[in-house]
Amino acid sequence: MWRSGETWGVMPAAPLTRVVLCDDHVIVREGLRQVIDDADDLEVVGTASNGEESVDAALRLRPDVVLMDLVMPGMDGVEATRRIMAVAPGASVVVLTSFADDGHVLDALDAGARGYVLKDAPPHEVVRAVRAAAGGGSPLDPRAARVVLARQAADDPRRLLSVREREILAMIADGLAPKVIANMLGISHQTVRAHLSRIYRQIGVTDRTQAALWAQEHGLGQP
C-alpha cells in the first residue's frame, strides 16, 4: 500500500517488459508467445517472420527485448540484430537459435546481441533470459559462453590462467625459484610444481625459462 497526501491506495503495477518475437516458423512463434505471455511481468507486443519485419517491429513498437532467430529467408538474424541496434538501441536482442557453433555465436554477439539461448532450453530458461536482458544482463547458454571465453583467451592468453597461476608466473618471470615462491605464498612446493605444470600446458611452453620469457612478453613480472 502507498499513501499520497491523505489518500491510501494500491501501489501501481510495474510496467510489463515488452517483447517482440522473430522466427520464420509460425509454430515456434506461437509457442514462444504462450511461454512469454504466461509470465506475469512479460508481454508479447509484436511478432516477425523474417529479419526485415523484426527491424520494422523494433522501430515501431520500441520493445524492451527482441527474441531473434538467426537463420531465416532474406535478411538473417545477425544483420537484423545489427540494424535493430542502429534504429532502436534501447532494445536488447536475445538470440534464440539451434546453432551453437563459434561462427554463429560470435557473429551475433558482434552484431550487438545481448544474449544467446539455444532452442533446446526449457521454457523457464527462455523467460529468465528475457528478464535478464531487460535488466541489463547478458544471458548466455553455457555452450555459447565457452565460445566467448575461448575468444577472450585468444585475444589475451593470460585469461587462460587463474589469479594464483598469474601470480606464480610473474614470480617465475622475476627469477624466483619454486621453493622460494612456495615459502612466500605459504603453500607447499608440490602445489607450486602442480601450478607450474598447468601453466606450461596452458601457455604452450616446457620449462621455467620459456615460461619466464612468455610472462615478460605478456606483461607479467619485470622485463
Residue-wise pLDDT for 2-58, tens only, equals: 454 545 555 666 789 999 999 999 999 999 999 999 999 999 999 999 999 999 999
Checking phi first, is residue 60 left (phi over 0); if not, alpha (psi -120 to 50) or beta?
alpha
CATH of the domain at 139: 3.40.50.2300
The pLDDT of residue 1: 46
| Total number of domains in the chain | 2
Global pTM?
A: 0.67
The pLDDT of residue 199: 87
CB 50 within 8 A of CB 161: no
* Residue range of the domain that includes 180: 157-217
Tell me the C-alpha distance between 68 and 111, whole Å.
12
CB 68 within 8 A of CB 95: yes
Rg (CA), the chain: 25
The pLDDT of residue 155: 63
Sort 22 into a burial class: Cβ within 10 Å, 0-12 / 13-18 / 19+.
buried
Residue 140 DSSP label: B
CATH of the domain at 198: 1.10.10.10
Low pLDDT (below 70) residues in the chain: 1-13, 152-158, 221-223
The pLDDT of residue 52: 96
Count CA atoms within 13 Å of residue 67 on its CB side: 34
